Structure 1
Amino acid sequence: MLAVASRAVRRLRRTLEMDELAYALLSHTGGSFGFPEKYEFIVKRHFQIVYLEEFLNDKDAYSQKIQVILLWWHMPKIDRELLESLPNLKVIGSSGAGVDHLDLQLISSYGIKVTNTPHVGDDATADVGMALMLSSAKNIPEGNRIACSPETSHFDLNWVGDDITEATLGIIGMGSIGYSIALRAKAFRMNILYHNRQRRKPEEELAVGALYCSNMADLLQQSDFVMLVVNLTPETHKLIGKHELQLMKPTATLINISRGPVVDQDALVEALTNRRIKAAALDVTYPEPLPRNHPLLTMKNVILTPHIGNATDKTRQKIAEKLVSNACAIIKGFPITDIVTAP
């Protein structure tokens, strides 16, 4: 009898604890776009999860309860209709650093705070930037194709790639990810140039041996590899266009790990076709994925990856934890640094 009573008490305690948890709206679970099932435990420590379909099927039950929306890579979509249906919504937490998918003016007009998870994925993204540069310079994808092809009978010993060691790397956008790339490039004894809205501290430049270019044109003209690591803003939309590509060396490679619209893709296709630049390695495009007949998909001097900058299990779990901890702090009235404000 005591054991039965004890179990009943534990169940009651769990029920009461669940009733005290705030409600968080997520898009859906699993699959290609949903919140990963293996990270759900992180959310459930602090929130009761309501998935979008569940909410839409019974708005009366949940509309007053939901205080948090947790976006997993832009899902669910935030629009006026959704905001109108959640009168007690306090915070929208967005995974990743970029918030160009959100109408910040609209959200702030409802008195709702927006948080993001900057810096958590810096190292993973920097690793991908270096991997793309190395893969392009050393012809890794094409080399793999040749080595595995049933038609291959011999290797062309005069087929060569490019050096990374002591080459010049131009980093456009020397924020935390850009600086992480510079730290890695230093190990390759690369000559590092950078262009940024604000110059970094002298001791930071010295630590990686980076030289500041106040004029982006100077960086483009000197670099063997140009790495784009900027946020997408109205100022950086098509930052690299026909003019900028013409400034680059014909032996140079463009690497983009920021956002697709930072590059004018039509101008890039033209530059690659005409060998105005040697190659491109892109983790981001617009749209994503590209139409299956897009010329970038079949160019041998192009490497494409499916926006995998911070796609490691360790990093994604940290992002989920940061996403949840930020939302908890807002609900409890604690100060946090990862607040995004409307421009």
Structure 2
Amino acid sequence: MKVVVIGDALVKSETLIEAVKEMAFAKDQALDIAVYEWHSELSKDEFQEHILAIERGGPEAVEIPEGILADLPEADYLFCHYAPISKAMLEAGKKLKLIGTCRGGIENVHVETVRELKLPFLHVIRNAEPVADFTVGLMYAETRNIARAHAAIKNGKWEKSFANDPYKTILPNLTVGIVGVGYIGKQVIERLNGLKVPVIVYDPFVDQQRVQSEGLLVEFVSDLAELFQQADIISLHMRVTEETKEMVNQHYLKLMKPGSYLINTARADLVCKDDLIKVLAEKKIAGAALDVSWTEPITADDPLLKLDNVTLTPHIAGDTIDAIPRSPFLLKKVVNDYLAKGYSDMEVR
């Protein structure tokens, strides 16, 4: 069994090798692992230049690891982080059964060739678990006033009364509505299931039976309006597209209960800022917690800063010391899931 791994400045080849050895195909088989490096000698700051080049121009705009084309014809699997997987590399890999990258973006892969060759391609949202943890943390912080109580004390005030006083209760007494049941959404659901919090979800693009077969305890609702009407906490986990940009606007915000909260650890542009500020200022909902901002960093005159029912953090939900370096082990989990089930939500088709 031949496996090719490519390390870089952020994810070491040694970590990729460790993860490969824990993949299901490696059991009871001798592994021949060919190791390549893509600017692994650079510092993180120096590596940013190459990240920018590949994100702007794709895998054909940068050089591939020297000598790799000689190893690929006999390779069964190819794994990397940010290194390019070019058209020439894919066409050279005549025996490839699967390729995988341990990052969410796919700019470094020649996806058109992947599709032409009908080659299974898996990737991971490498900071999914940190974002899911942080999302649940924001639910606690906003509903129980943790951050604003701390801020008050730091400013010399001993506050024990807050804007959401009529609605304060424990998390299991609240129903959380998840919009977007992708990889991060599922991670949030897993955590809420463990906390015995009722969960309803809306995602027209997922297979409901598949989600429920994975052991997630959720109730699907038929449309987005129903979720906004029923949920006490609404958490957004979608990508920004032409269809989803400012999707959460006054139409849906007006459907929310007076004691409900909006949580956003995805992208600011999913929400119409003016409409959200209006419902918060008028106390039409209990509060919001936002890890993303329409302008980063947020400006000193931003009206959000004047509100007493919003928790703001500076886009740090996915920021942990191990999210990127340990991402090969998240890829291992996705690969093993794919090998067991024959499908994966993280497969690019």
Matched, 1:296 2:304: yes
| Aligned-residue CA RMSD (Å) | 4.4
Q: Is the 8 A contact 1:90 1:111 kept in 2?
A: no
Matched, 1:210 2:218: yes
Alignment correspondent of 2:56? 79
Please show how residues 211-230 of structure 1 align to structure 2 within 5 Å.
211-230=219-238
Alignment correspondent of 1:145? 151
Please show how residues 1-343 of structure 1 align to structure 2 within 5 Å.
46-49=36-39, 75-76=52-53, 78-79=55-56, 90-91=85-86, 96-98=103-105, 117-149=123-155, 151-152=156-157, 156=160, 160=165, 162-163=168-169, 164-197=171-204, 198-201=206-209, 204=212, 207-319=215-327, 340=348
Q: What do residues 155-190 of structure 1 show as CA deviations (whole Å, max 9, x unaligned)?
A: 547984622122111011122321221222123332
Structure 2 Cα separation of the partners of residues 73 and 290 of structure 1: 28
- Give SS of 1:313's match: coil
Q: Summarize the Cα distance change of 1:47–1:220 in structure 2 as closer, same or farther, 3 Å threshold.
A: same
Deviates further, 206-215 or 163-172: 206-215
Structure 2 Cα separation of the partners of residues 103 and 302 of structure 1: 37
Q: Is the 8 A contact 2:180 2:203 kept in 1?
A: yes
Q: Is the 8 A contact 1:284 1:307 kept in 2?
A: yes
Q: What do residues 287-335 of structure 1 show as CA deviations (whole Å, max 9, x unaligned)?
A: 3333343222342212122222322222221237889xxxxxxxxxxxx
- Give SS of 2:226's match: helix
Structure 1 Cα separation of the partners of residues 38 and 48 of structure 2: 15
The alpha-carbon deviation at position 257 of structure 1 amounts to: 1.6
Task: Give 2:310's aligned amino acid.
Answer: V
The alpha-carbon deviation at position 103 of structure 1 amounts to: 11
Q: Is the 8 A contact 1:166 1:188 kept in 2?
A: no
- Give SS of 1:288's match: coil
Identity of aligned residues (%): 22
Mind listing any 5+ residue stretches in structure 1 that lack a counterpart?
A: 1-20, 27-34, 57-69, 324-335
- Give SS of 2:322's match: helix
Q: Summarize the Cα distance change of 1:87–1:313 in structure 2 as closer, same or farther, 3 Å threshold.
A: closer
Task: Give 2:255's aligned amino acid.
Answer: L
Alignment correspondent of 1:6? none
- Give SS of 1:193's match: strand
Task: Give 1:309's aligned amino acid.
Answer: A
Structure 1 Cα separation of the partners of residues 105 and 58 of structure 2: 23
Q: Summarize the Cα distance change of 1:48–1:169 in structure 2 as closer, same or farther, 3 Å threshold.
A: closer
Structure 2 Cα separation of the partners of residues 158 and 78 of structure 1: 45
When Rg is computed on C-alpha atoms for both structures, the one with the higher figure is 1
Q: Is the 8 A contact 1:52 1:76 kept in 2?
A: no
Task: Give 1:232's aligned amino acid.
Answer: V
Q: Summarize the Cα distance change of 1:77–1:236 in structure 2 as closer, same or farther, 3 Å threshold.
A: same
**TM-score, normalised relative to structure 2:** 0.63
Mind listing any 5+ residue stretches in structure 2 that lack a counterpart?
A: 17-34, 66-83, 88-99, 332-343
